[in-house]
Structure 1
Amino acid sequence: MFEKLSRSAGLRARRHYVQAMFRFMGHALEAISQVDRKVMDDARLLPNGLIFQMMVLPSGPSLVLEHTGEGRLRYLGPNYDGEVDLSIRFKHMAHAFLVLSFQEKTTEAFANDRMVVDGDISLAVRMTRVLDRMESIILPRLIASRAVKEYPDDLGLLQKVPGAIGVYRRVAFSMLRDLRKEALPI
């Protein structure tokens, strides 16, 4: 019985971790699209109004972003229920946990058939590049190297630190704004 309770608690902990990481990533992707020129250049090639979702099947945690134009992304939250143009879906919570805890690169998860793309694969590749760039900037190099296919050669400490500070500052303010919205009675 103790083993069953322990396994159940572990599953809940993974779910909460994945949920928290998706929320953080949504805010971080919005922020990085406002401060990093390479992310803006990649995102600019996405169709205006594109709705991107990353989620865990069948109805697990998710993040949803909208490309608003000029390479800017806007985080729509975890509970968006409208039409989605592009979706990257993890087949199982354990698969999402592997990627989001930096035990497996996103590209390896694709290769290991742990994810499904619903939509234009070239747009999914572009979004993966945006995700990789965000992770390279906000994570310490040792961790980012485990998370991304290839750590950017042109990302030195003098580029990384100001970019990371700008992203974390924007993430903190947008998450606080969300908490205030959630706390206000309707």
Structure 2
Amino acid sequence: MLAKRIQPMMAQARRLYVQVMFQVMGRALQAVSEVDDTVKKEALALPNGFLFEMMVMPNGPRMVVEHTGLGRFHYHGDEAPRPVDLSIRFKHIAHAFLVLSFQEKTAVAFANDRMLVDGDISYAVRMTRVLNRLESFILPKLIAQRAVKEYPRNLHLPQKLISGARIYLKVATNFVETVRA
């Protein structure tokens, strides 16, 4: 009996968690593109105006990020200003929760057929590398090693702390600016 009452609350909690994580990730993608040269170099290969979305099917939480040029990303929230160029879609909220709570690597989720990629695969690989780099900066090493396919060997503690702090500061500033607007 108790389980029947808890299940809907758990589903709502997962959905809220995924929604918040998409907001944080979108803002963090914008921030890391301002902070890290490796991310800028990866993003430079994307066309200007390139729109990337990550979402839960069919109408679940989503984030939309645009490459504005010069290796910079801009977070659009959950609304795309035009059709997206690349979409990574989780088939179910539980699948998104597994990845975004760092219980399952993105590559493993894809191998387990928990997500779909709609768009150019080379762009998807590039965006996955950007997301992995971001996670390496903003997560503790122990968790990041579980989340990314390969933790960067050349990412040392001082760089991680300084870049991570800059990213978190920019994310917090972006949240505050959004609330004020």
When the two structures are superposed, what TM-score results if normalisation uses the length of structure 2?
0.98
**What stretches of structure 1 of length at least 5 have no aligned partner?**
182-186
**CA shift digits 1:94-143 (9 cap, x unpaired):** 00000000000011111111110000011000000000000001111001
Structure 1 stretch displaced more, 105-114 or 79-88? 79-88
Q: Deviations over 1:151-174 (max 9, x none)?
A: 000000021111001100100000
Q: 1:47 to 1:81 in 2, by over 3 A?
A: closer
In the alignment, structure 1 residue 29 sits paired with structure 2 residue 35: no
TM-score w.r.t. length of structure 1: 0.95
Q: Which residue of 1 aligns with 2:165?
A: 165
Shift, 1:180, TM fit:
1.5
> Which residue does 2:123 correspond to in 1?
123
Offset, 1:81: 5.7
User: Residues 41-56 of structure 1 correspond to what in structure 2 (within 5 A)?
Assistant: 41-56=41-56
Tell me how far apart the structure 1 counterparts of residues 14 and 79 of structure 2 sit (CA, whole Å).
19
Q: Which range moves more in the overlay, 74-83 or 38-47?
A: 74-83
SS of the residue aligned with 2:94? helix
1:68 partner letter: T
* Residue of structure 1 in register with 2:91 after alignment: 91
Tell me the distance in 1 between the aligned counterparts of 2:67 and 2:20.
22
The aligned residue for residue 104 of structure 1 is 104
Aligned to 1:80: 80
Q: Aligned-pair distance for 1:18?
A: 0.2
Alignment of 1:61-76 (within 5 A): 61-76=61-76
The one-letter amino acid of 1:4's match is K
Identity of aligned residues (%): 59
| Structure 2: gaps of 5 or more residues | none
Query: What is the identity, as a one-letter code, of the residue corresponding to 1:15?
Result: R
Please provide the CA RMSD for this pair.
0.9
**Alignment partner of 2:21: what SS?**
helix
